[in-house]
């Protein structure tokens, strides 16, 4: 399967990632059968989140056994330093690992949440500390909804994240404002996240 640079992480991710939101409410047997297919297909990038129900827990046995085969990304929706760090440690425990390859601020689209994240005692401080301690190798930001490109622009101006995740599809790009904001974000990312240019 073809691999491409993922953001500015230096990792070459398979073109297809495994989105582990699918494990939100499944038993371990179901998760195990799915992960067998993930392994067989050669997918090397798993994307999960603390808010994805049982996902991290179901992935845990596979991460413990195959940690070196996966670029592992998880996310937090906590906006204070204290809560974000507490959630990261819970994620590490569930995932049976001592580090995350990519820790992401999830759904950072609400103005109040954005202000809290970047204020004193906000989640950004947790992210910086996690990277300094080796708990997270890389840092990113994600989101959905029509406002997400505009919010990601603000986030990249505030901090040099190594990846941004947001939807890109025909329906959304027909929205004039989303299209405009997405392309502005892309131009900024090309400058700040160089592999985006590849």
Residues 6+ apart with CB under 8 A from 93: none
pLDDT in tens, the chain (198 residues): 899 999 889 999 999 999 999 999 999 999 999 999 999 999 999 999 999 999 999 999 999 999 999 999 999 999 999 999 999 999 999 999 999 999 999 999 999 999 999 999 999 999 999 999 999 999 999 999 999 999 999 999 999 999 999 999 999 999 999 999 999 999 998 887 654 444
For residue 103, what is the enclosing H or E element? strand 100-105
Q: So what's the pLDDT on residue 61? A: 97
pTM of the complete model beyond 0.75: yes
Domains of the chain are 3-197 (3.20.20.100)
Reading the block at residue 85, the tokens are 């760090």
The residue annotated as part of the active site, out of 52, 89, 168, 178, is 52
CB 64 within 8 Å of CB 39: no
Q: Tell me how far apart the alpha carbons of residues 143 and 129 are, in angstroms, rounded to a whole number.
A: 22
Quick check: is 24 catalytic? no
Paired strand residues for 73: 47, 102
Phi, psi of 132, rounded to the nearest 5 degrees: -60, -35
């Amino acid at each position: 399967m073809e691999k491409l640079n993922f953001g500015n992480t230096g990792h070459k991710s398979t073109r297809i990632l495994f989105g582990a939101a699918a494990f939100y409410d499944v038993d371990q047997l179901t998760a195990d059968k799915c992960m067998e297919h993930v392994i067989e297909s050669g997918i090397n990038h798993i994307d999960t989140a603390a808010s994805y129900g049982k996902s991290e827990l179901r992935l845990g046995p596979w991460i413990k056994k195959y940690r070196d085969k996966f670029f592992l990304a998880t996310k937090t929706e906590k906006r204070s330093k204290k809560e974000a760090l507490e959630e990261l440690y819970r994620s590490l425990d569930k995932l049976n690992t001592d580090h995350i390859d990519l820790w992401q601020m999830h759904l950072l689209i609400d103005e109040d949440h954005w202000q809290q994240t970047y204020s004193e005692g906000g989640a950004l401080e947790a992210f910086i500390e996690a990277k300094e301690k080796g708990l997270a190798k890389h840092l990113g930001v994600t989101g959905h909804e029509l406002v997400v490109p505009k919010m990601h622009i603000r986030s990249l101006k505030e901090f040099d994240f190594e990846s941004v995740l947001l939807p890109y599809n025909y329906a959304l790009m027909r929205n004039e404002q989303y299209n405009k904001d997405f392309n502005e974000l892309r131009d900024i990312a090309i400058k700040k996240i160089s592999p985006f240019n590849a």
